[in-house]
Amino acid sequence: MKTKLIPVLLASALLASAPSLSFAQAAPATAAAPQGQAGQVVLDASTRILSTLQQRRGEFRSNPTALRGFINGELTKTFDRDYAARLVLGVHGRGASDADVKLFADAMADNLMQRYGSALLEIQGKPSFRLKSEAPLPGNRGVKVSTELVRAGSEPTPVDYLMRNVNGQWKIFDVMIEGISYVQTFKTQFDAPLRQKSIQQVATELRNGSMQAAPSGK
C-alpha cells in the first residue's frame, strides 16, 4: 500500500522527496519564509488537487493524457523535482550537470505516473489532509510539515513533507509516509544501477520501461 501511496501523495501536494542532505549540489534555500506558510501550501494544494481529481474523475479515466498533464502541472507548482533527484542520486550525482539531473528527475516521475497514475482516481470518499505541526529542519535546510491523510473507514496515515523556500516559494523535496522517505527509498533502489550505468542510461531505461521506479515494500 505504501508503494501506491507514494505517487498518490506526490500528486496530492507534492506531491510529492530526511536523509543526509550534505551531498546535494543544488542552489541553497533562500531566507526562511514566515512560519506556518509551508503548512498552508500543503493544505491548499492537497485540497485543490483532491477536489479536482474527484470532479474530473470521469474525464481523467477516459483520457490518461489529461490526467498526466494535470499531475505534471501540479508537480511543477509544489515539488522541487530536480533537487529531490539530486538527493536520490546521492554520490552518483556529484558533478552531474543540471541537464542530466533534470533528465533523471523527469524520467523517474514519468515512470511512476505511468504505473500508478490511475490509482489517484480510485480514492474513495472524501480524503483530506490534517495539519499537525510545522518545525524547522536542522541546519536551516527548511521545514518539516507533519500531516495526516484522513480517509473514511481507515486509520489516519502520517505524512511528513520536507520543504525548502525557493525564491520565496515553499517547495516539497521529500515525502515521508509512515516514516518511509521517498528520497531514501529511491536512493536505495537506484544505487546499484547507477554504479554500473550512467545517469543518462538509467533515465533512458526508465523512459522506455525496461527499468521501473518500483521500490520494494508492502
Alpha helices for 56-119 (secondary structure H): 57-62, 64-78, 81-89, 98-116
List, edge to edge, every strand of the sheet that includes 180-181: 128-136, 143-150, 157-166, 169-177, 180-181
pLDDT in tens, 161-176: 999 999 888 999 998 8
Phi, psi of 193 (to 5 degrees): -60, -40
Higher pLDDT, residue 75 or 67: 67
With H, G, I as helix, E, B as strand and everything else as coil, classify residue 56: coil
Q: How many residues does this entry show for the chain? A: 218
- Mean pLDDT on 28-48: 67
pLDDT in tens, 41-74: 888 888 888 888 888 999 999 998 898 888 888 8
At CA 18, angle to CA 156 and CA 85, rounded to 5?
105
Reply yes or no: is the peptide bond before residue 16 cis, omega within 30 of 0.
Answer: yes
**Grid cell 522541487 in the structure block, residue:** 80
Higher pLDDT, residue 87 or 70: 87
Higher pLDDT, residue 49 or 143: 143
Average model confidence (pLDDT) for the chain?
79
Residue 157 has pLDDT above 70, yes or no: yes
pLDDT number for residue 91: 96
DSSP lists the bridge partners of residue 165 as 170
d(CA 144, CA 189): 24
pLDDT number for residue 114: 76
Residue 189 has pLDDT above 60, yes or no: yes
